[in-house]
Structure 1
Amino acid sequence: MDLTRDQVEAAVRALRPDMFDFAYWVPEMAKEYRVTSVLYSVVSATAIAHDLSPGSELGVPPPGYPSSKVLFRAHDAHALSSLSIFYKRLYHRMTTGLMNCDIISMRTCQEVEGKFCDYIARQYQRKVLLTGPMLPDPEKSRPLEDQWSSWLAGFRQSSVVFCALGSQITLERDQFQELCLGMELTGLPFLLAVKPPKGAKTIQEALPEGFEERVKGRRVVWGEWVQQPLILAHPSVGCFVSHCGFGSMWESLMSDCQIVMLPFLGDQILNTKLMTEELEVSVEVPREETGWFSKESLSAAIISVMDKDSELGSLVKRNHAKLKEILVSPGLLTSYTDKFVEALQNLLNDTNLE
């Protein structure tokens, strides 16, 4: 990215755009050419507020941080190593951009992260514009692939567990096997979509001994991309086990599935705390002292929300349903987009008057 600076500057000088998106050195360049710079964050406001506020320390909430629940705990130590690398390599770049841009914009909404957005506005003394989650229109997407729609059709409503851990997570072989065995231990049909573990070229070569024979027909482990939102929308899917990346977080909220969190990286931990402890719409898989999960803890977390007699399952389902009802209320999310565009237009008009 840094090597493109001369090319970007030449384009800005020639085109004089109205606005410019974010790289940490763009605000400095934009001011030189009287161009307004807008930092558009596609990670959660929660993570920005906790980890990228002025004076932040590794894993420690900054002064005035607006939540006593969305925090790192002792058992989250496994994520702090990745966060430490982020601090060494990217913290200065990110905070430089936040401090020097004219406007901060965020892919979120007040109903979910409002107090974190307000905190960021105070910390950086910048206007914060929200776009909403910017999810694709499901009516305009391709239909679910036949192999999945046909397979899922063979199960009763809300009975299938779908697990996906995103494109960033590559498990160790033993943890991949623990994940497979934990899903098997639930006794429920499942679709597990993860990358092959470290040291394996394919999913099949890394599966636990005898696993394929034991789960044949009712369970699938898949090592390639899947249409996650469409799978979540299928009536047979009743539970989503997720790493709680920010995109997956929104997709889980917009579904009717029970939500189980298995986070790995720093921002995923904070997203999980937001969902599990602040909003109480999901449960988190407990970690061992080593920082890893066990097949028993994974299975127990899934069963805790899938058991129809579970008090915890009933609680998170009610809270999830209430929040989803708000998010899907007519015009709510599109109004965020409309207001965002209107705010940018007003900003340009004000700039032109100057």
Structure 2
Amino acid sequence: MVEIAQEQHIPLVIFSVFSASVYSFFVNQALTRPSPESLMSLPEWFGFSSPLRYPKSLATAMHEGFRGENASGISDADRVHKILQASKAVAFRTCPEYEAEYLNAFEKITGNGSKPVFPIGLLLPEKPQGRQTDEIFRWLDVQKPNSVVFVGFGSECKLRKEQTHKIAYGVELSGLPFLWALRKPHWAFNELDTLPCGFQERTRGRGIVCFGWAPQLEIVGHSSIGGSMFHTGWSSIIETMQFGHSLVVLPFVIDQPLNARLLLDKGLGVEIERSEDGSFSRDDIAKALRLAMVSAEGEKLRIQTREAAQVFGNRDLHDSYFNRFVEYLKENGAAN
């Protein structure tokens, strides 16, 4: 990529689908912090207090994945460093209202202002047009406003059978209405084999399990959805936060643990308690769900997530950041 851009005399701009906080955490990883333990502490280059760090249970896998060679023969750490050195500017799918200090830190780290860093807004997906009429939405239509928990861990999180069953038991134990988007994992013989025996019978009428693909944006935007339990991938955070949901976080891979730490630090989520080895119980799931959705203790959280939706869902705000970036490209493109 770098060589092609240089040969064609095209200015190279990095566009990161990760948040500025995550990219800032790793920006110097190719040169420093050579051990898994180093990911469990605050980067010295931040220069301010931050909650970002990996838990012990996830640090080793993340370190090996980032610094180890992959099929391309070069590590992700080396690739990031090489592209960053050659780039003229960096663009993030974010906004300063959420992580201004990390945008500022990144700009100082990568050139002390000589390499422009642009928040280009959250690039909100278009809201679906028309009205869904299938079974999922007929069921959602008769639920109370903000009462249902959406449960979804996407396709990147390869949950083990034990983890999937604990989540199921925890959802059941919470007593809350739920909609779970669940793909059949590789270890399951069929869809019925994915869930604990009798789970669907015991929760019939209170919840729905949607196997396979689900229209997630339409679901989380429904008025009956009041909370989401998910992995805290950045795109999922953006989709969910624009609707002001109460967030229950259970991160597993890549940027998810750091995203979760920042959400929690800002008072925008409830963390599912885990043991040092990363394991969790059905009781941990149920406790976090009830705290986020119905307990008096979680009222402050629910207020703060609704307030945050005014930023995350502000299309005019995010369009203004995007337009500013477009103007920079016009003025600094290959023809200039």
Structure 1 position 73, deviation (Å): 5.3
- Scaled by the length of structure 1, what TM-score is found? 0.85
Given the alignment of the two structures, is residue 249 of structure 1 paired with residue 237 of structure 2, yes or no? yes
Given the alignment of the two structures, is residue 291 of structure 1 paired with residue 278 of structure 2, yes or no? yes
- Scaled by the length of structure 2, what TM-score is found? 0.89
Structure 1 position 145, deviation (Å): 5.0
Given the alignment of the two structures, is residue 117 of structure 1 paired with residue 98 of structure 2, yes or no? no
**Secondary structure, counterpart of 1:105 in structure 2:** strand
Q: 2:125 aligns with which of 136, 151, 163?
A: 136
Q: 2:150 aligns with which of 162, 165, 174?
A: 162
The aligned runs of 1:100-249 (5 Å cut-off) are: 100-125=86-111, 126-138=115-127, 141=129, 143-144=131-132, 146-249=134-237
How many residues align? The count is: 321
Instruction: Show CA shifts across 1:64-121 (max 9, x none).
Output: 21553332254x5235414422221311112211121121111111111221122111
Residue equivalent to 1:15: none
Aligned-partner Cα distance in 1 for 2:58–2:325: 37
Structure 1 position 148, deviation (Å): 1.7
State the one-letter code of the partner of 1:121: E
In structure 2, list runs of 5 or more residues that go unmatched.
Answer: 70-75
CA contact (8 A) 1:202 1:223 kept: no
Aligned-partner Cα distance in 2 for 1:186–1:193: 18
Higher relative contact order structure (alpha carbons within 8 Å, sequence separation ≥ 6): 2
Instruction: Show CA shifts across 1:212-271 (max 9, x none).
Output: 221122222223121222211111111111100010111121012211111101310000
Residue equivalent to 1:301: 288
Instruction: Give percent identity, aligned residues only.
Output: 28
Residue equivalent to 1:44: 19
Q: RMSD of aligned C-alpha atoms?
A: 2.0
CA contact (8 A) 2:93 2:123 kept: yes
Aligned-partner Cα distance in 2 for 1:132–1:42: 11
Aligned-partner Cα distance in 1 for 2:52–2:188: 35
CA contact (8 A) 1:192 1:221 kept: yes
**Secondary structure, counterpart of 1:240 in structure 2:** strand
Structure 1 position 184, deviation (Å): 0.4
State the one-letter code of the partner of 2:196: P
Residue equivalent to 1:91: 77
Structure 1 position 308, deviation (Å): 4.7
> Which structure: greater helix fraction?
1
